[in-house]
Amino acid sequence: DQQVKQNSPSLSVQEGRISILNCDYTNSMFDYFLWYKKYPAEGPTFLISISSIKDKNEDGRFTVFLNKSAKHLSLHIVPSQPGDSAVYFCAAQNPGAGSYQLTFGKGTKLSVIP
Amino acid sequence: DAGVTQSPTHLIKTRGQHVTLRCSPISGHKSVSWYQQVLGQGPQFIFQYYEKEERGRGNFPDRFSARQFPNYSSELNVNALLLGDSALYLCASSRGLDTASGNTIYFGEGSWLTVV
């Protein structure tokens, strides 16, 4: 039973355009969401997060939008750069579960074409 | 400051053997978590330790165990290895437990375990 779903395994975008990565979740107890970026042979790197009390958080070229009623979040990268090519993981947290474990989606592989 | 460091980076074990993976968190971080990532999947939570106490356990068999030492480093032990245990094992550290208060979770580069 996957509680965090990234339904697009891959995405190709032209350099300079917007990349939109999507994530859906089923557990309404999740109240904090994070995006991680992972290059091959490296550990995941934290990108940006959002609390459930917000609907948008922005950090430079990265913006995360949260739609709680739809249980959907998205990561926007503008403008996309070739160095953004990586696997992006959406993760969610339910502190009420007693620990602060992250539940991850399967990831979306982003390819930014020069 | 050094990031999260893990050892070994790669190892090959035979079915039925035992393995110990090690992790040193970022200096000042008291929480360590372990995740398993198999090919094509996202990381799956195994354990979380905070101040040397287990604070969470994922859906893994009792063959998996872990501990945290007084210096906050941690070990993950897996007994009676199965082929299906082949994966990337990631260690993550954070200053505290409450991520929403800004305690970002940082990951190490992982230990690649192959069971043959």
Tokens 């995941």, residue located? A44
Identify which of B105, B109, B110 has the shortest CB distance to residue A102. B105
Query: Of A8, A102, A39, A85, which is closest to residue B48 (Cα–Cα)?
Result: A102
Q: Report CB contact under 8 Å: B55, A98.
A: yes
Task: Calculate the average pLDDT of chain B.
Answer: 93
* Total Cβ atoms within 10 A of residue B53: 8
Q: Please give the residue that has the higher pLDDT: either B95 or A97.
A: B95
Query: In the predicted model, what is the mean pLDDT of residues B74-97?
Result: 94
B67 contacts B76 by C-beta, under 8 angstroms: no
Instruction: Give B-chain residues touching A107 at CB under 8 angstroms.
Output: 41-42
Residue A100 confidence class, pLDDT cut points 50, 70, 90? confident
Tell me which chain A residue has its CA closest to the CA of residue B47. Answer: A101
Higher pLDDT, B100 or B110: B110
Check CB contact under 8 Å for A97 and B40.
Answer: no
Closest among A1, A43, A44, A45 to A26, alpha carbons compared = A1
Separation between Cα atoms, residue B58 and residue A18, nearest integer Å: 36
Residues in A closer than 8 angstroms to B44, CB to CB, are 104
pLDDT band of residue A2 (cuts 50, 70, 90) is confident
**B101 — pLDDT class (breaks 50, 70, 90):** low
Residue A49: is its pLDDT beyond 80? yes
Q: What is the mean pLDDT of residues B42-51?
A: 94
Please check the confidence at residue A94 and state whether its pLDDT lies above 90. Answer: no
**Taking 70 as the threshold, does the pLDDT of residue B76 lie above it?**
yes
Least confident of A46-60, A95-109, B82-96: A95-109
What percent of chain B is modeled with pLDDT above 70?
Answer: 94
Q: Which pLDDT score, from 0 to 100, does residue B44 have? A: 96
Instruction: Name the pLDDT band for A44 (thresholds 50, 70, 90).
Output: very high
pLDDT: which is higher, A41 or B10 = B10
The CATH number corresponding to A4-113 among 3.90.1150.10, 1.20.120.1200, 2.60.40.10, 3.30.70.360 equals 2.60.40.10
What is the residue extent of each domain of chain A?
Answer: 4-113
CB contacts of B35 in chain A (<8 Å) are 102, 104
Predicted local confidence at residue B26, as pLDDT: 94
Q: Give the pLDDT of residue A21.
A: 98
**Domains of chain B listed by start with CATH number:** 5-115 (2.60.40.10)
Write the secondary structure of A52-98 as one string of H (helix), E (strand) and C (coil).
Answer: CCCCEEEECCEEEEEECCCCEEEEEECCCCHHHCEEEEEEEECHHHC
